[in-house]
Amino acid sequence: MTYEVEVFSRPPLVDAPGRAAAAQAREIGLAGIEDVAATRVYFLKADFAEADAHRVAKALLADPVSEVYRLRAVGGAWSAEPPADLAGRRALLVTAKPGVMDPVEASLLAAVKDLGLPILAAHTGRKFYVAGAATEETLAALGREVLANEVIEAVTPGDAVYEFREGRPFQFHGAGEIAIRTLSEAELVKMSRSSHLFLSPAEMKAIQEHYRGLGREPTDIELESLAQTWSEHCVHKTFRGVIDVDGKETIDNLFKSTIARATRELAKPWCVSVFEDNAGVIKFDAANNVCFKVETHNHPSAIEPYGGAATGIGGCIRDPMGTGLGARPILNTDVFCFAPPDFDAKKLPQGVLHPKRVMRGVVGGVRDYGNRMGIPTANGAVFFDDRYLGNPLVFCGVVGIMPVDKCFKHQATGDLVVVVGGRTGRDGIHGATFSSAELTETSDTEFSHAVQIGNAITEKRMLDALLQARDRGLYTAITDCGAGGLSSAVGEMAQHLGAKVHLDRVPLKYEGLSYTEIWISEAQERMVISVPPKNRDEILQLFASENVEATVIGEFTDTKRLELFYQGQPVGQLDMGFLHDGVPRQRRLAKWVATKNKNPRASKKKDFGGDLRAILGSWNVCSKQWIVRQYDHEVQGASVIKPFVGPNQDGPGDAAVIAPVYGSTQGLAVANGMNPKYSDIDPYAMAACGIDEALRNVVAVGGDPTRTAILDNFCWGNCDKPDRLGGLVRAAQACYDLAKAYGTPFISGKDSLNNEYQTGGVSVAIPGTLLISAIAIVPDVRRSVTSDLKDAGNFLYLVGLTKDELGGSHYYALKNAVGTRPPRPDLATAPKTLAALHEAIKAGTVRACHDLSEGGLAVAAAEMAFAGGLGAELYLSKVQREDDVTRDEQILFSESATRFLVEVEALRAAEFERLLHGVPRSQIGKVNDSGRLVIHGLAASSAAPPIATGTPATDAAPVIDEPLAALRAAWLKPLDW
């Protein structure tokens, strides 16, 4: 028997989802939709009587205070009437497509069984009753554009009879062979694309050669294993290949000769494990190390923003969990790149979701997964540019903490291969190879199976059990099932050993998966551990006691071969050497061509208040409160510096600080640096400024620059194109130069290199985007500093040298210009500046500190002033600057690197100055309580003062004189959704 239970909100309570749907329909201009009422629907397949179904509805489905329900046996009559005001409306039912995971289903089944009632299956849906004269087409558009994402959900008429569909068992007829030995190159290329392998012609030929040598054809599962393992996503072919730089230079392995080289040469004793494990590990205190990983989940988020982002954060959380013997996640940081939310909907290319919808979905996905996991999302950033329209970027970063003796794996021959956590389904097939493809108009339909749906609670439950098993020493190694699923996880763990895996033992969500699908599915919330046979019973019992599924699917061997079985028969056998080292190295051409930009004409303005408000109200600079407050940034009770600062928590902070060990005052600062605008002039400057900005942010809150590690995440266009690769090479070279000069090692990183979007025959690449994420030790969190101004009368110092570097600035963006001179950190003075400022903060001489980034001095001063609710008066003439800085606009808005605006008590000014000896700095004004920001310009007659002793020209007229309320309002307005 199938019962249908429909739950309505009890009048007069507000039907929030219905109201939101109606509002969004209006927003996108759907005519004739007057009102929408939303209900939840549950389909229960069970052998119990109707009275029992009522019991389920009352105990679990409908809230007795705020909701009412009606129930019927499917096809029968309702046992209670719907609210009268829904009569005559047309209804749409939204349900998950077959094979798409419905997280509520599992909880519902367990809860019904807990009531002592037998139940076979349960599905959920949402029903929408639409009032108004909308046409059938409009109704269909409502379903498609507002109510459902048809990639994963089906919209059907609300009165159709619901059928439970079940998978049919997979029909196994022995291993399937794929004939490739006799194919021509053209045929190999065709097969690579049509089978979604996304291997290059050279790679296809290498596989062909290998099997010719073996004297047999590959099986389907072998070919898939190779495609997964050799995907750009998994082996970083570009970074590890050979690059011919414009015929002048050959780079053999860009990664090893830049990023990894800096780390190796710096040889920091506090680096525990770098570039080896699922996250980079550094020392924290005597008992604990911390690890950090940042990843992207771009392509899935483009076609299903909510699910793509949720599984992005879910997958990244599994990286610390799969580092060493497993770390406990303690902080999330999320960075997104979108097209502007006000993008003209009429200009939207086919197959592309509107950026506002993408943004709502991505934020919702990160929120629901991160919040449910109980990990504070304490830091992040959002960057907007039109070129992210078809290819948004979603970076998820997670910090974990682990005991010092749990940082390395030691799997051994004879250990059991155990898969833990969620079941395997058809979701997420080909995610790893999909990320190697350019997105096209058909991506949303062609790759819908690459989208995974997350279930945070499955992951949380698994985490709780795994940490207990780790502490009891029950397993010897762990890794997550990420891209490539079991094929990658087992393949990696068994790389130096070998393994036998019985694929029919893997628990499935539903029948019908082939052995290959089981092997490469990227179904979420699964990890693989290696368990010594003697611990088998104890660990399985532990997992069962926490309702976590764990299954022995094979064992590690000493054959250096991966041997795959289904129903006892061999279906694949791969040599570990060929699998991991057989991929032919790529040889590519790089040629960076400098863009030809011009500087706009110098401004003759006397008042820059309007420009300041415009920058504060720009998408990139404005308050991200709408996003940040949807994240739980305080769970775990470790937060010391939160995203918003000031007496009313309405000013932007620079970095998150947490004290993760209860009772200890040692902390961690985490921040990001990124500014793709500079890429339009020079990717070297973009990368250099990203590193400088990440370090500025952690130092500004009290992080120790000599105990800071960084991570790189490159998102780039198609690097088969020499200009894109040329830019990538320049950015990587900056990474080496800066890391060496600053003494800041890279400990982990990732790249996503096919971020292009094809439409109308044109390929649009994203701007070269490098996200730098920094993690710093804060020696004593009680010395941490925030950016809000604290007390009237205190001095304001500008630390660092201001240069004529308006290229790529937000000020030039106001003028629709890019300019020619982006900021370039000074490699000699920058590390000294960071070190000296850190000493000054540690000594307690700093009351407030804010780094100068987007919008330069004017924006930093405004943010500090309105965050503190006080006021400030500054003099541009006192700013330390280079000789060619002669105009107010240059000093106000240049984004020169390694600069900070610092508030110091008058009594401690001498001490502060002494600690900053040798570093460019000058007192440029004072804090007051006027409620205004006043910035005096350079006096008309004054030339640039000598760098060492700027003398003030205090009588110069203000070039900015704005009430803080107006500045704050401008900053808050754009994302006040």
Partner 1 sequence: MPPKALILRTAGINCDLETEFAFTSAGALAERVHVNRLIEAPALLDGYQILCVPGGFSYGDDLGAGRVLAAQLVVHLRDRLRRFIDDGKLALGICNGFQVLVKTGLLPGPVDEKLGTVPSLSDQFAQTVTVTYNDSGRFEDRWVHLRSDSDHCIFLEKGEIVTLPIAHGEGKVIPTDAAHLDALRHLGRIALRYVGPDGADLPPFPFNPNGSIDAIAGLTDSTGRVFGLMPHPERYLSGLQHPAWTRQLKGPAAEGDGMRVFKRAVKYFK
Cβ of residue 631: shortest distance to partner 1, in angstroms?
A: 6
- Residue 839 one-letter amino acid: E
How far, in Å, CA of 643 to CA of 653, rounded? 5
The verdict on 843 binding partner 1 (CB under 8 A) reads no
For partner 1, give the closer residue by CB, 114 or 581: 114
What is the b/e burial string over 95-112, where b = at least 16 CB atoms within 10 angstroms of the residue's CB? bbeebbbbbebbebbebb
How far, in Å, CA of 825 to CA of 251, rounded? 25
Q: Is 233 a catalytic residue?
A: yes
The encoded tokens of residue 484 equal 């490539």
Piece of the chain touching partner 1 by CB under 8 A; list 84-92, 244-252, 645-653, 678-686: 645-653
Looking at 232, 427, 632, 962, which residue binds partner 1 (CB under 8 A)?
632
Contacts with 181 (C-beta within 8 Å, 6 or more apart), sequence order: 208, 211, 212, 217
Strand partners, 575: 561
For partner 1, give the closer residue by CB, 331 or 959: 331
Q: Is 54 a catalytic residue?
A: no
Task: Give the x-and-dash track for 742-781 against partner 1 (CB under 8 A).
Answer: ---------------------------------------x
How far, in Å, CA of 497 to CA of 505, rounded? 21
For partner 1, give the closer residue by CB, 597 or 630: 630
Piece of the chain touching partner 1 by CB under 8 A; list 128-136, 495-503, 543-551, 600-608: 543-551
Looking at 790, 815, 842, 926, which residue binds partner 1 (CB under 8 A)?
790
Contacts with 969 (C-beta within 8 Å, 6 or more apart), sequence order: none
For partner 1, give the closer residue by CB, 56 or 518: 56
How far, in Å, CA of 397 to CA of 407, rounded? 19
Cβ of residue 600: shortest distance to partner 1, in angstroms?
A: 39
Under 8 Å between Cβ of 438 and 758: yes
Looking at 442, 445, 547, 569, which residue binds partner 1 (CB under 8 A)?
547
Of residues 92-131, which lie at the interface with partner 1 (CB under 8 A)? 103-104, 107-108, 110-111, 114-116
Cβ of residue 303: shortest distance to partner 1, in angstroms?
A: 24
The encoded tokens of residue 851 equal 């780094």
The verdict on 13 binding partner 1 (CB under 8 A) reads yes
Cβ of residue 24: shortest distance to partner 1, in angstroms?
A: 12
The verdict on 906 binding partner 1 (CB under 8 A) reads no
- Residue 833 one-letter amino acid: T
For partner 1, give the closer residue by CB, 676 or 702: 702
Task: Give the x-and-dash track for 48-87 against partner 1 (CB under 8 A).
Answer: -----------xxx-xxxx---------------------
How far, in Å, CA of 245 to CA of 237, rounded? 16
How far, in Å, CA of 840 to CA of 912, rounded? 6
For partner 1, give the closer residue by CB, 682 or 704: 704
How far, in Å, CA of 900 to CA of 249, rounded? 38
Sign of CA dihedral 522, 524, 526, 527: positive
Catalytic residue (choose from 123, 196, 233, 850) = 233
Q: Which one, of 259, 162, 176, lies nearest residue 220 by Cα?
A: 176
For partner 1, give the closer residue by CB, 734 or 785: 785
Under 8 Å between Cβ of 712 and 770: yes
Piece of the chain touching partner 1 by CB under 8 A; list 228-236, 418-426, 450-458, 875-883: 450-458
Q: How many CB atoms lie within 10 A of CB 396?
A: 31
For partner 1, give the closer residue by CB, 357 or 887: 357
| SS3 readout for 609-674 | HHHHHHHHCCCCCCCCHHHHCCCCCCCCCCEEECCEECCCCCEECCCEEECCCCCCCCEEEEEEEC
Cβ of residue 781: shortest distance to partner 1, in angstroms?
A: 6
Task: Give the x-and-dash track for 551-570 against partner 1 (CB under 8 A).
Answer: --------------------
The verdict on 635 binding partner 1 (CB under 8 A) reads yes
Piece of the chain touching partner 1 by CB under 8 A; list 409-417, 541-549, 829-837, 964-972: 541-549
For partner 1, give the closer residue by CB, 455 or 896: 455
How many residues line the site for partner 1 (CB under 8 A)? 67
Catalytic residue (choose from 123, 236, 297, 354) = 297
Cβ of residue 546: shortest distance to partner 1, in angstroms?
A: 6
Looking at 167, 341, 349, 374, which residue binds partner 1 (CB under 8 A)?
374
Contacts with 887 (C-beta within 8 Å, 6 or more apart), sequence order: 602, 603, 938
Cβ of residue 373: shortest distance to partner 1, in angstroms?
A: 7
- Three-class secondary structure of residue 959 per DSSP: strand
How far, in Å, CA of 960 to CA of 401, rounded? 46
Piece of the chain touching partner 1 by CB under 8 A; list 93-101, 176-184, 365-373, 501-509: 365-373
Piece of the chain touching partner 1 by CB under 8 A; list 351-359, 622-630, 739-747, 918-926: 622-630
Looking at 435, 455, 479, 524, which residue binds partner 1 (CB under 8 A)?
455
Cβ of residue 626: shortest distance to partner 1, in angstroms?
A: 9
The encoded tokens of residue 296 equal 């992207």
For partner 1, give the closer residue by CB, 104 or 614: 104
| SS3 readout for 798-859 | EECCECCCCCCCHHHHHCCCCCCCCCCCCCCHHHHHHHHHHHHHHCCCCCEEEECCCCHHHH
The verdict on 671 binding partner 1 (CB under 8 A) reads no
The verdict on 647 binding partner 1 (CB under 8 A) reads yes
Under 8 Å between Cβ of 293 and 748: yes
Which DSSP string corresponds to 73-122? ETTS--SSPPPGGGTT-EEEEEEEPTTS--HHHHHHHHHHHHTT----EE
The verdict on 786 binding partner 1 (CB under 8 A) reads yes
Looking at 644, 716, 795, 875, which residue binds partner 1 (CB under 8 A)?
644
Is 364 buried (19+), middle (13-18) or exposed (0-12) by CB count in 10 A? Answer: middle
The contact set with partner 1 (CB under 8 A) reads 13-14, 16, 20, 59-61, 63-66, 103-104, 107-108, 110-111, 114-116, 367, 371-374, 455-457, 460-461, 464, 545-547, 628-642, 644-647, 649, 659, 662-663, 665, 781-782, 784-786, 788, 790-791, 848
Instruction: Give catalytic residues, as residue numbers.
Output: 233, 297
